[in-house]
Amino acid sequence: MTIHTGWLSPPVAITGLDHLGTQTPCQLVYAQLLPGITNVTDRARYYSLYPWLIWSFDQRYPDADYESFIRIFRRADFLLTLIAEFHARGLGEPDFLHGAAMAGCTQMSTAMNMLATAGTVNLDVFATHEDAPTRYFKQPLGGLGQYYIGTLVELGVLDTNVRSWIRYSDELGEPLARAVDAVVPGNAFWDAVDAGEVTDDDLEGLSAFCPCGLKPGTDEHRLLEALFLATGEHYRATGKQRQLSLQLLLHLANSTAELDRELDTDLFRATVYSSRLPNGSAWQLPAHLHATRAAWAVYQLNELLSVAFLSLFTSTLDFIYERYAETAPYFRSPESVASAAAAGVFGSVVERAYGAVRFSEFLSNLEATAPPVGDWTHADHEHQVYQRLLGMARNDLSPDDLVRDAIYLLGLLAVRSRIAGVSYDGIAITRDELIRYPINLESFASRTQVWSELPLRDVVREMVDWCLSSHLTVALRKLRDTSRSTFRFYVGERGVELAGEATVPTRTTPRFNQSFQILIDLGALAPKGGSRHEEVSLTDLGRTWMDSHGG
């Protein structure tokens, strides 16, 4: 028998974010509520400009090979962003109306300085494949390859099956491309791409390619309306929920227009969760949007659960670190960590803060004293506690405060879920998917029933143990699937050993900013301030969409 030996490289260790798998159910929910819009597809016009680039390239260079396509496409992709930046500066208008979130926007200062000093911008300086500080994108297909290609293929606008690189679809992509071609100076654009450099005059003449060039009344705008609002027959079956979520945003903008509050993700989270506006009044919605608002509330409830457990996990890692800093003996197992935390500082903090010995007593006290679910500006509301447990806000709290707030938030979620009977009903999440992510709304509801008659310290012990065991399960699966290690601790010869710093809890991003920007690009929303979230009002077009779609 032949035996071969060799060295095995250790897995690459990365910090990771979702150490308990609690964020994945959140992502599964919002992916269903906004299909066709992702956390990186920020601009509506890319949904038509990219099909035009590919279609127009085919018309101009019918015999081009793959290498030529990549070289020319990268120049063109960067030029689109340069046009938008030049247009914004020329008009002195906010960036969100022009070049915000476009491919290569981080290189705009360098490019505009080059234009000011040399009188031209050499496109290849930025479109280069080389690992140069001016390279606009590492991915060969730039913003298309990195951000938009998967979505556009899924929508049926682009097709990856017909040749070695991307092609537009005949049914959906070509009509979009031709609609763009009718309103832009295509020959001048490709002349600039071929020349490899542009001047002020060139950029001025190409301003129709700016995202603000998407104008109501054009075929391009009509086709994008059909895509995003699912009015076209091709998008109706898969895009209905996207239509309802976008309409929900229009209603939110209309309802908050006079409240002197930024219409941002924080307001969206609180309002869909509580169904109350910042002034405390009820958010009045048409009947056909109630289910969509409720589904977003489930997303936010899962988000609150995620941050609470991630915060408790971080506090537990800090607890282990403090123990070892005192050269105390190592914990033999995760269970011993949980027992020590509950018997010691964690349990003491919670009992002292809430004056309860049993978990049922703790929940009863919360039910009697917590602010109503609609009073989301109250300091003790779950929305405000959630904010305190995130990011830099944690620096203002002591270690004891962090444990207290995390347990308080979990207790309050148990009360809210018990009253509302919240679950994933109506959302296509399978039992197998939930099993892969042990901490979720349904498993939490089941455990709170079991915990109801336990002493509070025992429940704290089980919460901590659940965090630790879930982390090992999730990190092991990530190691198997990606060969990357996200372990924050492991059980070794000495017992529980820390594998890296405790990470700060993070939130998921529910595609609000992207959807909001798309509605601005389409002309349905009109911010009046310097930020896209300031003084937002509906346009006549937005009001028409709000009243006519989805009823």
Please write down the HEC assignment for all residues of 134-201.
CCCCCCCCHHHHHHHHHHHHHCCCEECCCCCCCEECCCCHHHHHHHHHCCCCHHHHHHHHHHCEECHH
| Contact between 527 and 534 (Cβ < 8 Å) | yes
Confidence tier at 7 by pLDDT (50, 70, 90): low
Q: What is the residue extent of each domain of the chain? A: 43-214, 229-262+512-551, 298-498
Q: 469-491 b/e with 16+ CB inside 10 Å = b?
A: bbbeebbeebeeeeeebbbbbeb
Token representation of residue 116: 């000011």
- Report the interhelical angle of 173-181 vs 219-228 (nearest 10°): 150
What would the pLDDT profile of 384-425 be if each residue is shown by its tens digit?
999 999 988 899 999 999 999 999 999 999 998 765 566 787
pLDDT band at residue 503 under the 50/70/90 scheme: confident
3-state SS assignment for residue 495: strand
Q: Is the pLDDT confidence value at 551 over 50?
A: no
**Integer Cα distance of 516 and 521 in angstroms:** 9
Per-residue pLDDT band at 548 (split at 50, 70, 90)? confident
Side-chain half-sphere CA neighbours of 56 within 13 A: 25
What are the two backbone dihedrals, phi and then psi, of residue 302, each rounded to the nearest 5 degrees?
-65, -35
Q: What is the pLDDT of residues 433-456, one digit of tens each?
A: 888 899 999 999 999 999 988 999
Query: What is the band of 9 on the pLDDT scale with cuts at 50, 70, 90?
Result: low
Amino acid at 125: V
Q: Which pLDDT score, from 0 to 100, does residue 456 have?
A: 96
Place of tokens 């890319």: 46
Q: How far apart are CA 30 and CA 33, in angstroms?
A: 5
Contact (Cβ atoms closer than 8 angstroms) between residue 100 and residue 533: no
For residue 209, the model assigns a pLDDT of: 98
List, in order, residues 6 or more apart from 301 with CB less than 8 Å away: 273, 413, 416, 417, 422, 441
